Amino acid sequence: MRNRLTRFGWSAVALARRTASYGRRKAVAFGELWRRSVQFRVTVSTLALSSAVVFVLGLVLQNQIIERLMDTKERAAFAQLQVVVQTAENELVGDAGQDEALRNRLGNALKKVTSSSVATQDVESSAAGAFEPVLAAGDPDESTAHAISAGPYEKVPAGLRNFVQNNAQAKQIHTIGSTTYLVVGAPVTTTTRPLQLYLLFPLTTEQNTVATVQNTLLVGGLVLLLLLASISNMVTRQVVRPVRRAAAAAERFAEGELDRRLDVVGEDDLAKLAQSYNEMAASIQRQIRQLEEFGQLQRRFTSDVSHELRTPLTTVRMAADVLHASREQFPAGLARSTELLVDELDRFETLLRDLLEISRLDAGVEELAAELIDVRPIARRAVEQVKVLAGTAGSVIELDLPDDEVTAEVDARRVERILRNLLANAIDHGEGKPVLLRLAASDNALALTVRDYGVGLRPGEAELVFNRFWRADPSRNRRTGGTGLGLAISQEDARLHGGRLDAWGAVEGGSCFRLTLPRSTGEPIEHSPLPLRDLPALPAGGGGGTEEPDGAEPPENGEDRDSGSADGAVNGQTGAVSEHEEAR
């Protein structure tokens, strides 16, 4: 028995949980629909308000009908009572004698009253309907048990008897069993003994009328609510449908369907809305096309100028090389001018190469030559290419690479260029302190971070760092001369891989760049394997660097740091870096 009760209890708990879960799901679905659909909100609100109005109106109408019915019934009952009292007084003239004789006379009077009242009732009293008469002879001081009566005296309520025995007309609604009566009473004063006359009017007809009215109001109210809900739904739909079409057209317009327009029907407010939307879309389309044409002209101009400058630059380069080879024969000032000329020509060639590269990236003609390779050798080659620059600046490059292979589908040339730019930028702004290059990988992504401990970035500069030709402090003495496009090109190379390039910096706390790439082409990146800010402090033996200050929150959206720098190129004979990152 106990096991049965236990099983029953667990079944009840499980049923309650399922019911609660179902209720929560329905509530969530209702809330979601309520938030998203104006049509649903308007329809439900109209239905709720209409229900309240119909309910109040039904109560008022029901109360009014009941009051009118009872007033009519009471007036007719009292009119009938007056007729019956007169008839009874005429029949009960004289002394009644003993109790038995009085009882007989009361019975005869009731028969006379019943037969005569039907023949003599007028229009008003006829509304009272059928009744049961009761005649009673008793004294107010005597118990009702000793009263002499004719008719169903037990149906008369005691409270009404007291009023009538005190020579007052009275009425009372009294329920006996399943039947409700309107009981009216009045004293009969033509005899030597006090008599009371009571008429019991069944309210069955009135109750049936009230029930009919209630059913009618209920059915009519439900029908009215359904009609109101349908009407509100139809009216709201007429207003919401054009808005939904406008929203769908706006979404497709945002997706690139610039020719999408709305149909203008009629001259109402919604038609004006559609017409205004079409005019706005046409204006935006014209402006977008103008911007596209301007961008194409700008890219073509940059590309054409870069190509056209190559021919005279080649001639100037040949002449400069001849002068540079003979510089030992020149005076000291002229020899120095020859060296400066060669250096500036190197920088000019780097600028042209970067301009051509950024033009191809803007035009979308660059292709990714990705292959599955180990990324660690790419990092080592990038470090080797900037060693001369690091030695000149007094910085030490620390490598933190995994022992195992880190393979990924990447374009080795582009990844190497990104790392070379980031390392050159870190050396240039590292104030002679160490630079840390780290590599880590997860199942679907790899990350490379370049951390320096130099001047860092001021608040707000991280949002501008990848802008073209932007510098944080133009007056600062820099060891290298970049083109201002290196970081912009690096960011485009990262995006071409489907990855991202993030940056963070703090004043006098250094800066950190993080390159995150997918290990397979087209694979989405959920999380970067390396954090952007929570990195090790200054490496041991590294030039008096400082740890990262607390409280500087790095942006994680990957669009921060300096404007960019030049792509580094390695001189094959000397190993010196002739092109590198220009940052800040």
Closest CA to 520 of 396, 429, 437, 410: 410
Q: What is the pLDDT of residue 374?
A: 93
For residue 335, count CB atoms less than 10 angstroms from its CB and return exposed for 0-12, middle for 13-18, buried for 19 or more.
Answer: middle
Cβ distance 144 to 157 under 8 Å?
Answer: no
Q: What is the pLDDT of residue 350?
A: 76
- Return the bridge partners of 372, or none: 409
Q: Computed from CA positions of residues 33, 255, 517, 453, in that sequence, does the dihedral angle turn out positive or negative?
A: negative
Helix (H) or strand (E) holding 495: helix 486-496
Cβ distance 432 to 395 under 8 Å?
Answer: yes
pLDDT tens sequence across 153-164: 888 888 888 888
Q: What is the pLDDT of residue 473?
A: 58
CB contact set of 128 (below 8 Å; sequence gap of 6+): 73, 76, 77, 79, 80, 121, 201
Question: Which of the pair, 472 or 332, is modelled with greater confidence?
Answer: 332
Q: Does domain 61-210 have CATH number 3.30.450?
A: yes
Q: Determine the average pLDDT of the residues in 7-30.
A: 79
**Is a pLDDT exceeding 80 seen at residue 453?**
yes
Closest CA to 131 of 164, 163, 156, 149: 156
Closest CA to 544 of 388, 425, 398, 395: 395
Q: Looking only at Cα atoms, what is the longest distance across the chain?
A: 171
pLDDT tens sequence across 400-419: 999 999 999 999 988 998 99
For residues 358 and 351, what is the distance between their CA atoms, to the nearest angstrom?
A: 10
Pairing relationship of beta strands 397-400 and 170-176 according to DSSP bridges: unpaired
For residues 350 and 581, what is the distance between their CA atoms, to the nearest angstrom?
A: 11
Cβ distance 144 to 158 under 8 Å?
Answer: yes
CB contact set of 219 (below 8 Å; sequence gap of 6+): none
Task: Provide, rounded to the nearest whole percent, the portion of the chain with pLDDT above 90.
Answer: 11
For residues 517 and 178, what is the distance between their CA atoms, to the nearest angstrom?
A: 87
pLDDT tens sequence across 524-570: 888 889 988 755 555 544 443 333 333 333 434 333 334 444 343 33
**Is a pLDDT exceeding 70 seen at residue 190?**
no
Cβ distance 176 to 186 under 8 Å?
Answer: no
For residues 462 and 509, what is the distance between their CA atoms, to the nearest angstrom?
A: 14
Q: What is the pLDDT of residue 101?
A: 58
CA angle, 148 then 151 then 152, to 5°:
100
Q: How many residues does the chain have?
A: 584
Q: What is the pLDDT of residue 546?
A: 34
**Among the CATH numbers 3.30.565.10, 3.30.70.1400, 3.40.50.300, 3.40.920.10, which is that of 369-584?**
3.30.565.10
Write down the domain spans for the chain: 1-33, 61-210, 261-366, 369-584
> Rg for the chain (alpha carbons), in Å?
52
Q: Determine the average pLDDT of the residues in 53-81.
A: 88
Q: What is the pLDDT of residue 94?
A: 57
* Amino acid letter, 371: E
Q: Does domain 261-366 have CATH number 2.60.40.3880?
A: no
Closest CA to 69 of 213, 224, 199: 213
> What is the distance, to the nearest Å, from the Cα of residue 339 to the centroid of all Cα atoms in its chain?
65
Read off φ and ψ for residue 439, nearest 5 degrees. -135, 135
Question: What DSSP assignment string belongs to 284-308?
Answer: HHHHHHHHHHHHHHHHHHHHHHHHH
Strongest mean pLDDT among 30-39, 106-115, 190-199, 225-234: 225-234
Q: Determine the average pLDDT of the residues in 86-96.
A: 67
- Return the bridge partners of 175, or none: 180
pLDDT tens sequence across 478-531: 555 556 777 888 888 888 888 989 888 888 888 899 999 999 888 888 888 998
Read off φ and ψ for residue 94, nearest 5 degrees. 100, 175
Closest CA to 426 of 368, 518, 504, 371: 504
Question: Which of the pair, 467 or 530, is modelled with greater confidence?
Answer: 530
Pairing relationship of beta strands 445-452 and 510-518 according to DSSP bridges: antiparallel
Across the chain, what does the average pLDDT equal?
A: 77
For residues 344 and 174, what is the distance between their CA atoms, to the nearest angstrom?
A: 117
What SS3 class is residue 363? helix
Least confident of 135-139, 319-323, 424-428, 436-440: 135-139
Pairing relationship of beta strands 397-400 and 435-441 according to DSSP bridges: parallel
Scan for tokens 């038995």, then name that residue: 100
What SS3 class is residue 61? helix
pLDDT tens sequence across 215-252: 998 998 899 888 888 888 888 888 788 888 888 888 88
